[in-house]
Amino acid sequence: MIVTENMTAKEIINDFKENYGKVRKLLDEDSKNDPENEPYASKYKAKAILLNMYVSLPTISQSQSEDSIDKVKLDAMMGTVLLNIGIIDMETEELTASENVLVEAEKLLTPNATKPEVVRTLINVYNHLGILWSNRGEQEKAKEYLVKAKDLYENFKCTLQIPLAIEQIINNAGETTADDFLLFEKAHTLTLYYLAQVFWALKQNLKAAIYYYVTLRRQLQYSDYEPIDWALNSATLSQYFAEQNGFFQSRHLLAASSTILEQHEQNLQAVESNEEAHLAKLETFKHRSADVARCWAKYCLLLMSASKARLMDDAERLEDAITDMSNLNLEDTENICGGDIKNINFPELDVSKYENKVTDKFLLMYQDAREVFLNCQSWLNKAKEYYKLDSLASDYIKLTQDSSQSYAYLAFFEEDDERRAKMHKRRVDMLEELVKEINPVYYLQYCRQLWYELGEVYSEILNIKLDKVNKSSEKPSPHALKKINMLCEKSIENYDHFLNSIKDKNGKLPRKLEYDVIRPVVSAYAYMGRNSMKRIALDKSMQLSNIKKSYESYQAVVDICKSDEEAASMMKEEYSLCKEMVQILPIKIKKLETELVS
């Protein structure tokens, strides 16, 4: 862009238009095809053109009479140049240069912030300064810029003016098009999205979640979304609300996600094509539909878990049945949802089809839990249509673990002991079948989890059977005694598999356990100690053997906690119990040994 004194305003504008067109082509099209060894080639070419424009534009300002090119228009043109240089510098990791250029753009544009020619560019400048500082870990600084962008948008909307895009300015177009207006709204949507990320980084998670929701709502409102991405984001956000007992909001977000996916599926099916691109879209749809199904299953599991915890924690306060977070006080200084968290909804969508399938209220009775359980199983089966053991083993394993967990929660609500035992037996069947199919060499972490869970499940069934024997006034049958001993053996066997997977080739545990295995290792030994004592033996030598095995397990806990302060602190209760048992059991052992000798 070379400016001479005798150039007319029209020629200057045309020159800018031509160069800016080249810049956009380089950035929007050519950069996608840059070679791997020169990933920024097109960006650097675009920057070179922009730098030339940057040098030339001040010359225009000095050489032109005031009525030739309006100063606000010139500032808007210069601001656009600076913004694009700043973005390129950011993308090419020249962050200090990017900051300097963006700050220069801010200073240039701020005096005319609410002018239609300037407002969108300045909002984008603020947005990118927010991104820059957020990436540096300076979240408060990032927030300052993003709040400026938000305030500017709101102030401009109050003026009832219509924003002008740079293309309109240089084309002298008369009216703003719908696309130009949408770009302005999109800039604000991005502001809200970046604010959500910043608030999340600042640990203000509820506020972040609400900003994420508003981002999703605006994307729907302005039809500015890609269906798969939108559905995934909505489903992911639902998990946060479910974890906070906000099942009202979580269910709505999931229902919206499934509704958008259903609409997208109809659009895909309307196209009859075997082209690779279309088949790829169908495959992506199947994949992401399975992911949303998993989110629905997690919703059900969290609802069952929260309901169980509520019943166990304080049965006297069951009237406090809030599942919509309306008891929380949200500091909504930005008036993002009117201070009412229940305002989280998508009025543009009819989501009743999916909302009506499952409750958002805490569960009290078995029938309530059964309906949620069946819904959970349905979603897990849908997810397994995509995630199969022979192709996506890790995901399939997690789905099976979720299925087992759903049976565990259902069993909590079941009052009949025999039916509860059968539910746990279903867990045993699915987990044992799975652990046989997977190779511990490749899936050791999952095998450990499965062995440990099997140890727990067999212990659960054992306790149910022992309770039945203890409650009965009749002498237990040989079959019942054999069953109890089998359950003891199976539980210990699986805990043993788990512990052996952590030991070295010499059968020794590490001198210091990794943090995430301390609890399961100590618990496994403690359970083995208890279950060894629960074996029923009429023969005294067998009784002695069982007590000795129990002693060894309790002693293992004591040894671990003695040599590892972290383990002792984390497992205080188990450590205390095992120390006590290590004192008591030698007396029993000595007594039995004496009886056997005499």
Read off the pLDDT of residues 99-122 as tens digits, 9 standing for 90 and up: 999 999 999 999 999 999 999 999
Which residues, 6+ apart, have CB-to-CB distance to 471 below 8 Å?
A: none
> Span 544-570, mean pLDDT?
95
pLDDT of residue 4: 53
> Do residues 136 and 179 touch, judged by C-beta distance below 8 A?
no
For a pLDDT cut of 70, what percent of the chain falls above it?
Answer: 92
Specify the pLDDT at position 343. Answer: 78
Determine which of 260-274, 327-341, 403-417, 569-583 has the lowest per-residue pLDDT on average. 327-341
Structure confidence at residue 267 as a pLDDT band (50, 70, 90)? very high
45 pLDDT above the threshold of 50? yes
**What average pLDDT score do residues 36-56 get?**
93
DSSP string, 536-596: --SSHHHHHHHHHHHHHHHHHHHHHHHH-HHHHHHTHHHHHHHHHHHHHHHHHHHHHHHHH
Question: Is there a contact between 424 and 487 (Cβ–Cβ < 8 Å)?
Answer: no
Q: Determine the pLDDT at residue 320.
A: 66
Rg (CA), the chain: 33
Taking CA atoms, 471 is separated from 108, 420, 465, 466, in Å, by: 84, 16, 10, 9
Separation of alpha carbons 209 and 388, rounded Å: 32
Q: How is residue 418 written in tokens?
A: 């025999």
Q: What is the mean pLDDT of residues 73-99?
A: 95
- Return the pLDDT at 5: 54
Confidence band, pLDDT 50/70/90 cuts, at residue 61? low
Would you say residue 62 has pLDDT above 60?
A: no
- State the pLDDT confidence band at 595, using cuts at 50, 70 and 90: confident
pLDDT band at residue 20 under the 50/70/90 scheme: very high
DSSP 112: G
- Mean pLDDT (the chain) is 91
Predicted local confidence at residue 471, as pLDDT:
87
Whether the per-residue pLDDT at 387 is higher than 70: the answer is yes
| pLDDT number for residue 67 | 47
> What is the CATH number that goes with domain 1-203?
1.25.40.10
Using H for helix, E for strand and C for coil, what is the string for 26-68? HHHCHHHHCCCCCCCHHHHHHHHHHHHHHHHHHHHHHHCCCCC
What pLDDT, on a 0 to 100 scale, did the predictor assign at position 333?
63
Q: How far from 360 is each of 33, 228, 262, CA to CA, in Å?
A: 49, 25, 22
Range of lowest pLDDT (46-55, 95-104, 127-136, 373-382): 46-55
pTM of the model: 0.90
Of the pLDDT bands very low, low, confident and very high (cuts 50, 70, 90), residue 316 is low
Residues 63-83 have a mean pLDDT of 80
198-256 confidence digits (pLDDT tens) = 999 999 999 999 999 999 999 999 999 999 999 999 999 999 999 999 999 999 999 99
Per-residue model confidence as pLDDT tens digits over 472-512: 888 888 898 999 999 999 999 999 999 999 999 999 999 89
Q: Is the pLDDT of residue 64 over 60?
A: no
Residue 277 pLDDT > 50, yes or no?
A: yes
Is pLDDT of 174 > 60? Answer: no
How do residues 437-481 score in pLDDT, each as one tens digit?
A: 999 999 999 999 999 999 999 999 999 999 998 888 888 888 989
